[in-house]
Amino acid sequence: MSLTSETDWKELIIITDEEGRTFCISCGWGVEPPVAHIPDSKSWKKAVPAWLHDRRDEVIQEVLKQKHVIQEESLSDDEAS
């Protein structure tokens, strides 16, 4: 089975797993093409729930299916705590 995604307006992409758990990805608005803010590889496990820890590539593919551009962002030490 795989992850699925849907948009909620242009500001959110909602990622859903096989068990119905969801994670929201913030997106920029008012820009074309739309931009999704994704934690970079180093920050990934600190920024997402455990059920997504090993699924970063899948999440990126779902975001791309929604026709968003990926903008990778790193977390500061304060945000990661």
Residue-level pLDDT, tens digit, the chain, 81 residues = 699 999 887 689 999 999 999 999 999 888 888 999 999 999 999 999 999 999 999 999 999 999 999 999 998 755 554
Map residue 71 onto helix, strand or coil: strand
Contact (CB, 8 A) for 68 and 57: no
pTM of the model: 0.85
Q: What integer pLDDT is reported at residue 79 of this predicted model?
A: 57
Give the angle 39-40-41 at the CA atoms, nearest 5°.
120
Q: How confident is the model at residue 31, as a pLDDT? A: 86
